[in-house]
Amino acid sequence: MGIRYAVHAYAWTTSWSNETLHLIAHAKALGFDLIEIPLMEIEKIDAAAIRAAAADAGIGVCASTACSEATDPTADDPGVRRRSVEYLKACVEATARMGATTFSGVVYSAIGRRITGFPEQRHWDWAAAALKETARHARDLGVTVGIEPINRYESFLVNTCDQALRLRELIGEPNVAVHLDAYHMNIEEADFRGPTQKAAPYLCHFHLSESHRGAPGTGVVDWDGIFGALAEAGYAGVAGLESFCEVSPAMAAATCIWRRLASSSDDLLREGLAFLKRMEAKHFAQA
């Protein structure tokens, strides 16, 4: 079947709502198999409308989020930790209602949070407890929950594949998976092939992002290492572009895009998708 390619809706918009439903058909027209719907503004998510638009376009859907300070599973305040579980469960329910089976991202702590010193065991335990309850709820709805390691400037807790696997073991639920991102790996990992090999048995999603978040193939990511490992594992899951071209106030803090990386988002995505498919063809033919 091969890899199924997704595109993050933030390639075009900084806020998902019914005003952006047209992007679902647009993603299909550009050649993508799925569109990744962001759930950060869960109150704006119309899951039934997303499901209907995806069915009309003939495209799949997956979902992701990044917890905020108000929904932080590792917060010192137990009330915030409780709200984090309520929020993550709502995300899982929205994921299922839109017809998706994968919900992933920064689901273990507030994005951008910094602490004094190294994480303590309590942070790991709090994250694991929240995600265990979330995963059990998700299992009943047929949803897999993915842990995405991100770089040190965006998370204090899970920066590497090994740390994601550690948290997965602490959670101890069968529907918890790993979601890698090459952009973050370029900052945190010693190489690309090794972590991809480690994650492969548990991988639910892979953001195939370039080192500067531009089009894959135009930076320093070791794409041969990644695709070689995916081919060895016979990976046939979801991999997606999380690339950005436009600067906006809403996304500036998270993406830190201060220059134009392509002539347009569509050009970046076309170029990137074509490159990734060439890499897949090259390595999977050799496997």
Domain layout of the chain by residue ranges? 4-286
Average pLDDT over residues 253-258: 59
Candidate list 36, 93, 133, 148, residue with the active-site label = 148
Rounded to the nearest 10°, the torsion over CA 190, 194, 199, 204 is 90
What are residue 166's phi and psi, to 5 degrees?
Answer: -60, -45
Distance, C-alpha 126 to centroid of its chain? 21
What global pTM score does this model have? 0.95
| Residue 88, CA atoms < 13 Å, CB-side half-sphere | 38
Tokens (6 digits) for 178:
């790993």
Dist. CA 73–CA 76, nearest whole Å:
9
73-77 contact pairs (CB < 8 A, 24+): 73/107, 73/108, 73/109, 73/126, 73/127, 73/129, 73/130, 73/131, 74/108, 74/109, 74/110, 74/113, 74/123, 74/126, 74/127, 74/157, 75/110, 75/126
242 catalytic per annotation? yes
Among the options 36, 210, 242, 280, which is catalytic? 242
Tally of CA atoms within 13 A in the half-sphere of 122 that contains its CB: 7
Q: Which of 185-199, 217-231, 251-265 has the lowest mean pLDDT?
A: 251-265
Q: What confidence tier does 161 reach under pLDDT thresholds 50, 70, 90?
A: very high
CATH superfamily, domain at 4-286: Divalent-metal-dependent TIM barrel enzymes (3.20.20.150)
pLDDT of residue 206: 98
| pLDDT tens digits, one per residue of 186-221 | 999 999 999 999 999 999 999 999 999 889 999 999
The tokens 């995600």 sit on which residue?
131
- Please write the tens of the pLDDT for every residue from 21-52: 999 999 999 999 999 999 999 999 999 999 99
154: region left, alpha or beta (phi > 0 left; psi from -120 to 50 alpha): alpha
Q: Which pLDDT belongs to residue 257?
A: 63
DSSP 38-96: E-TTGGG--HHHHHHHHHHHT-EEEEEEE--GGG-TT-SSHHHHHHHHHHHHHHHHHHH
